[in-house]
């Protein structure tokens, strides 16, 4: 064999090594997971449930006086694990969390309100028996005259390129799906600090981006009206020691 043959062969070997090195250096991207956020105020915690495809609807209830504020996990399909350790499986309706976000601000949720799971989510894997698994956090609403500074603590996400994650916080006073715009303060950190004095119910959206993948989670800060003080209040004690109360002209003896 001549020298040209060995030169040609060696060149191909070097090229194959370079291609292999380049391929091994590539980062495989997967959908972003573990993206949620929450805060606490009074009675706080999490509730979860699993319902089979033919056993709906799913009912989720928070303690009296509290409301659901974030959907930590939602999947209609073949999620694995049991509450609270749910994991998305190979069969998953991509609108699972969007639909489940409808429970935000409520003490009790019924999903779907009517119809079947397949009618609500679509059938992500026909012929496979599916379940609907949900985990959501709850806390108490704020009064409009007493909302303090609130730290919404965001999770550390996984997935994407597995290396870098960027964050974007936005807010809406319209609803959970529309009307989002810039928040005040720092909007690109893992957590977000809500300024004190919030006067109306507000939805906060954290979008996580990693490589070409992105995912959003929504947190509601629910604000209720402040107690209304009576226009007039008097208390009278007669000679027998009996007390008469009068509120806005209405008397109780």
Are 71 and 36 in contact by the 8 Å Cβ rule? The answer is yes
The CATH code of the domain at 30-224 is 2.60.120.740
Asked if the model's pLDDT at residue 253 lies above 80, the reply is: no
Model confidence at 19, pLDDT cuts 50, 70, 90, reads very low
Task: Give the residue among 173, 218, 192, 209 at the shortest CA–CA distance from 72.
Answer: 218
pLDDT of residue 59: 97
Domain boundaries of the chain, sorted by first residue? 30-224
Tell me: the pLDDT tens digits for 46-84?
999 999 999 999 999 999 999 999 999 999 999 999 999
pTM tops 0.85: no
pLDDT of residue 206: 98
Asked if the model's pLDDT at residue 227 lies above 60, the reply is: no
Beta strands in 56-196 (DSSP E): 58-61, 67-77, 108-111, 131-139, 142-143, 150-154, 158-160, 166-172, 181-182, 192-194
Indicate the average pLDDT of the chain: 85
- Locate 57 and state its tokens: 């609807």
Tell me: the pLDDT tens digits for 164-188?
999 999 999 999 999 999 999 999 9
Model confidence at 23, pLDDT cuts 50, 70, 90, reads very low
Identify any residues that bridge with 44 across adjacent strands, giving them in sequence order. none
Q: Comparing 120-134, 175-189, 234-248, which segment has the lowest mean pLDDT? A: 234-248
Listed in sequence order, the DSSP H helices in the chain are 3-24, 96-100, 117-121
Tell me: the pLDDT tens digits for 153-164?
999 999 999 999
What span, in angstroms and rounded, lies between the C-alpha atoms of 170 and 143? 22
If you write DSSP's letter for every residue of 235-248 in order, what string do you get? EEE-TTS-EEEEET
Are 172 and 179 in contact by the 8 Å Cβ rule? The answer is yes
Are 212 and 232 in contact by the 8 Å Cβ rule? The answer is no
Model confidence at 6, pLDDT cuts 50, 70, 90, reads very low
What span, in angstroms and rounded, lies between the C-alpha atoms of 68 and 146? 20
């Amino acid at each position: 064999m001549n020298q040209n043959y060995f030169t040609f062969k060696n060149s191909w070997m070097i090229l194959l090594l370079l291609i292999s090195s380049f391929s091994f250096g590539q980062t495989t991207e997967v959908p972003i997971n573990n993206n949620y956020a929450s805060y606490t105020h009074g009675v706080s915690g999490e509730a979860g449930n699993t319902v089979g495809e033919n056993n709906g609807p799913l009912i989720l209830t928070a303690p009296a006086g509290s409301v659901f504020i974030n959907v930590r996990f939602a999947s209609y399909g073949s999620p694995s694990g049991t509450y609270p350790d749910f994991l998305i499986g190979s069969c998953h309706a991509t609108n699972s969390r969007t639909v489940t976000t409808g429970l935000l601000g409520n003490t009790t949720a019924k999903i779907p309100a009517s119809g079947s799971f397949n009618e609500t989510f679509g059938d992500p894997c026909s012929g496979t028996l599916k379940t609907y698994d949900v985990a959501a956090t709850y806390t108490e609403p704020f009064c409009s005259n007493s909302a303090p500074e609130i730290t919404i603590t965001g999770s550390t996400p996984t997935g994407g390129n597995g290396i870098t994650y960027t964050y974007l916080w936005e807010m809406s006073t319209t609803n959970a799906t529309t009307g989002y715009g810039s928040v005040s303060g720092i909007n690109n950190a893992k957590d977000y600090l809500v300024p004190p004095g919030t006067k109306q119910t507000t939805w906060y959206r954290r979008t996580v981006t990693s490589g070409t993948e992105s995912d959003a989670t929504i947190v509601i800060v629910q604000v209720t009206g402040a107690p209304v003080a009576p226009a007039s209040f008097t208390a009278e004690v007669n000679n027998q020691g009996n007390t008469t109360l009068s509120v806005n002209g209405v008397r109780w003896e």
